[in-house]
Amino acid sequence: MTNKLYDTSLSLLTDLYQVTMAYGYWKSNTAEKEAVFNLYFRKNPFSGGFTIACGLANIIGYIENFGFSKKDLRYLRSMTGNDGKPLFEEGFLDYLASLKLTCDIEAVPEGTVVFPNEPMIRVRGPILQCQLLETPLLNLINFESLIATKAARLRLVVETDTLLEFGLRRAQGVDGGMTASRAAYIGGCDATSNVLAGKLYDVPVRGTHAHSWVMSFDDEQLAFDTYARIMPNNVTLLVDTYDTLQGVRHAIETGRMLEQQGHKLSAIRLDSGDLAYLSIEARKLLDDAGFQKTSIVASNDLDETIIASLKQQGAKIDIWGVGTKLVTAFDQPALGGVYKLAALRHEASGAETSGRWEYKMKLSEQAIKISTPGIQQVRRFRDERGFMADMIFDAEIDSTNKPTVMIDPLDFTKRRRFDATQPYEDLLVPVFREGSCVYELPNIHDVRARVQTQLADLHPGVKRFVNPHTYPVGLEKTLHELKTELIMKLRESVDQ
C-alpha cells in the first residue's frame, strides 16, 4: 500500500524529541532493547459515551513506506545544537539510513467501538523503533477517530435519512480535508462533496450548484432551467439565493420541464433561514404540485444537536449536509490520545533465553493520568443483547477458558465476574509481525458497515448525547493488583 496523498517520505513526520531520544538510545547502546508501548485515549470526545477507531489503513501505509531518504538525512545532518555543532553524529545518520522496522504491531480494526484507557494499538519491538513511531501513530489515529466518532453521532440522530459531508472548503488544510472525508464516510456519512476523496478512497461523491450559478443569470428561473437542461440526471436546486419559497416555486417549474423530458427533480436545497419552517412550507408546495418524491436537502452549520432540534420541530428534511462542524470537529478539536511505555525486557541471564519483562508505568497526581503497565489486550464480553463490558488484561498471562474478575480502575470495590463460558472476543489483532504486514485490510465500505454493526450492539444509554451511560471497562484482577503494587513501590521510592 502506498501513501495516496503525498509522493514523498513521511519519516520526518514526527516531533524532534522522538529523534533525539532515538539518538540517545543509539548512543547508549540500548537501541535494540525490547519494549512495549500502548496507544490509548483518556476521555470519549464530545462528552459522549463511545469512540470509533479509525486511521489504521493510513498507519499501515505509513509503516510500509517508512524509511529515511537521502533528503531526510541531509536535513537531519544540517541540524545543530546550542553550540552550533551538529546535533547528530554521522554514525547515527548511517544507522537511520539502513533502518528497517521490525516491530510487532497489534491494533483494533477500524470501525470498532472503543472506550477510554483501552489500547487501540500495541507496539512491541526495539525501543528506538517504537519511539520513532509515537508521534505519527498518534497523528494518524487521533484525528480520524475523532471525525469518525462525530459522523457516527450524526448518523445516530439522522437515523435512516441521507447524510452528506460538505466540509472540504472549511477543513484544516488539504490533509485535514482528505482525512476528514474518509473518516466521515466510515463513521456513517453516505457521501462527500470532496471529489479527490472519491477518487482516492472510493467514497461516493454528491453535489449540485452554488449561489454563484444563480447569480450569474438574469433571473433564478433561467438559472434553474439552464442547469436542468445541461445536467438533467443530477438536478438538486439551491433555492435560497433570493427568496426561498419563491425559489421553491421556480424549482417546481423546472421540475415540470424535466418531467416532460423523462427526468425528475431530485431535490431542492435549503442553506439558510429557519430550516424547520422553510422545509415544512417547501414540502407543502412540492407535494401540492405533485413532487412528493423530490427530497429536501438542508445545510447551514448543522451538527447533531441542531439536527435533533429540527427533527423535534417537525422539519421535513430528507438529506442533511454537514460541513464545518463535522470536518473540523468543531466542539472538540482533538481526541487526546497518548502513547505510553508499558514494559521493557531485560537481557537474558542464566537459563533464560529471552529475558524477563519489567513493567513500567507513569505516576501522576491525577488518577486518570496514571498509566497501566503490561502487554495489554482488550477482551470484550457479550451476551444475547450485545456488548456487556471490556476487560483490559496482560496478554502474557494465559486467561483462555478461565473465569475472570474485572475491577474498575477508579473504584476497586466495583467488580464484575465472568465465567469461562461467557462469549468474548479479543479486540487487538495482529497487523505487523517483525515489520511485515500480516493484516488484510477490508475495503472502506465494509469498515463503514462495521461501525453500524458495532453501534447496534451497544446499549442505547451509551449512545445518548446527554449524560450517556458509562460503558463498563476495567482491569483483569491480576493486572489490577500488579498496577496497585507498582504504584505503591513507586510512591515509596519517591518518598525516600
Phi-psi region of 148 (alpha: psi -120 to 50; beta: other; left: phi over 0): alpha
Q: Which residue has the cell 453516505?
A: 190
Strands 429-433 and 436-437: antiparallel
Strand partners, 406: 416, 476
Per the CB < 8 A criterion, the answer to whether 269 and 239 are in contact is yes
Q: Which residue has the cell 427533480?
A: 265
Cα angle: 411, vertex 107, 201; to 5 degrees: 130
Phi, psi at 316, each rounded to 5°: -100, 65
pLDDT of residue 492: 81
Per the CB < 8 A criterion, the answer to whether 257 and 228 are in contact is yes
Residue pLDDT, tens place only, 89-98: 999 999 999 9
Return the minimum-mean-pLDDT range out of 170-179, 370-379, 405-414, 429-438: 405-414
Mean pLDDT value of segment 19-27: 98
Of residues 348 and 315, more confidence is placed in 315
**321 pLDDT more than 70:** yes
Confidence of residue 5 (pLDDT cuts 50, 70, 90): low
**475 pLDDT more than 80:** yes
Average pLDDT, the chain: 94
Angle, helices 127-158 vs 304-312, to 10°: value is 10
pLDDT of residue 2: 46
pLDDT of residue 9: 73
Please list, in sequence order, all residues whose beta carbon lies within 8 angstroms of the beta carbon of residue 312, skipping any fewer than 6 positions away.
Answer: none
**352 pLDDT more than 80:** no
Helices (H), 167-274: 173-187, 195-201, 211-215, 220-230, 244-260
| Nearest residue to 475 via CA among 420, 394, 413, 397 | 394
Assigned CATH for 149-327: 3.20.20.70
Angle, helices 444-456 vs 127-158, to 10°: value is 70
Strand partners, 238: 269
pLDDT of residue 409: 85
Q: Which residue has the cell 408546495?
A: 285
SS3 254: helix
Per the CB < 8 A criterion, the answer to whether 68 and 97 are in contact is yes
Confidence of residue 356 (pLDDT cuts 50, 70, 90): confident
Per the CB < 8 A criterion, the answer to whether 348 and 397 are in contact is no
Residue 163 per-residue DSSP state: E
Residue 94: Cβ within 10 Å count: 11
Return the minimum-mean-pLDDT range out of 244-248, 314-318, 366-370, 386-390: 366-370
- Taking the C-alpha atoms of residue 446 and residue 441, their distance in angstroms, rounded to an integer, is 10
C-alpha cell at 1: 500500500
pLDDT of residue 486: 92
Strands 357-359 and 376-383: unpaired
pLDDT of residue 1: 41
Enter the pTM of the model.
0.95
